[in-house]
Each structure stands twice: as C-alpha cells, then as structure tokens.
Amino acid sequence: MVSATVSITLVIREDPRLSHRPVEALRIALGLAAGENPITVILIGQAVQLLAEETDDIVDVEILEKYLPSFQHLAIPFVLILPAGPRPDLQDGFAVTIGSNDSAQRAIAEADRVLVF
C-alpha cells in the first residue's frame, strides 16, 4: 500500500494571553509534525506572542516552554502575520517568515488540510 503525504497548514489567530487554545494548537501541530506530512504554522495578529521573547502573560506558558524547543529542532516553518502596532521581540532559532494576508491565503489554498484555532 502506497501512502501519500498530505500537506497541513495550521492557523492560529487567538491571543495566547487570553486563551489556552493557541498553546493547545501548537501541541496539536507538533503531534501532526511527528508523521511524514509537511506542516506549516501561520500565526496571525496577537498569536505571534507565542514566539515572543516575553511569554510570562501567556496562558499555559509552562506547556508552551516544554514544546517550543521541538519546533526549533524540527525547523517547522512559521509564517507570521504581524499585528498592527509595535512588533514583539521574537525568540531566535525558529524557521520564521514574515507574511501577509495574501501569502496566508495562498498557503491555506494550497494545503491539503487546514486547521484553524
């Protein structure tokens, strides 16, 4: 039996300082990345706080800190759609691309599977 890979795009748009869902979404993304299917994570607006230097205000920060090194090690690509206003200082070591709404729409359209949080 031949197994075909399926590209996955995971979109996180909630503020991780207000909800546990963004950290849970990253945990799910990491689980999906354990297989052979390529995955891209798009962080929109305040969701970019997940990769910020300052993470003390993030809900479930202890879980986030546990999983972030795996994202660095696996070089899982992140596309950031930055919020209006000042850009947060980001942690080093992640495969980050600064994108736009158009590039996010293209990535979503080209993916075989999309999960939105």
| In the chain, domain spans | 8-116
- Please report the pLDDT score of residue 104 as a whole number: 94
Three-class SS of residue 107? helix
Tell me if 32 sits within 8 A of 70, measured CB to CB: no
pLDDT band at 11 (very low <50, low <70, confident <90, very high): very high
The CATH architecture of the domain made up of 8-116 is: 3-Layer(aba) Sandwich (3.40)
Q: What is the pLDDT of residues 31-60, one digit of tens each?
A: 998 888 899 999 999 999 999 999 999 999
1 has pLDDT over 70: no
Dihedral of alpha carbons 45, 51, 54, 55, sign = positive
Count of Cβ atoms closer than 10 Å to residue 26 Cβ: 28
- Please report the pLDDT score of residue 3 as a whole number: 58
Name the pTM for this structure: 0.93
2 has pLDDT over 60: no
- Please report the pLDDT score of residue 84 as a whole number: 87
Residue closest to 83 by CA, chosen among 39, 52, 40: 52
